[in-house]
Structure 1
């Protein structure tokens, strides 16, 4: 996996955490859920990249 992909996934996860925290702080359940979904999406992308890397070796 390239460094750019790792940084993009980390950034997506950080944005998701920020959305989740903002949603919790304001009582906005949809924003909180969106943040959790963004984090899950970033984790799945990361897992896919790890699988690709495993097959390249």
Structure 2
């Protein structure tokens, strides 16, 4: 199931990048911040997956 989690995390990161870019393009600071938050959440989740891999 780790592969599925990695794919989900990558998708969340890409969604966050898209939101951040859209926010910058439209001047919507809220959307830009939401995108950065999504990216940070994906990064934290990916780090957790990496730690699990080390202990397997």
User: After TM superposition, what 4+ stretches of structure 1 lie above 2 angstroms from structure 2?
Assistant: none
CA distance in structure 1 between the partners assigned to 2:2 and 2:23 by the alignment:
32
Unaligned runs of at least 5 residues, structure 1: none
TM-score by length of 1: 0.93
Unaligned runs of at least 5 residues, structure 2: none
- Superposed CA RMSD: 1.0
CA contact (8 A) 2:2 2:49 kept: no
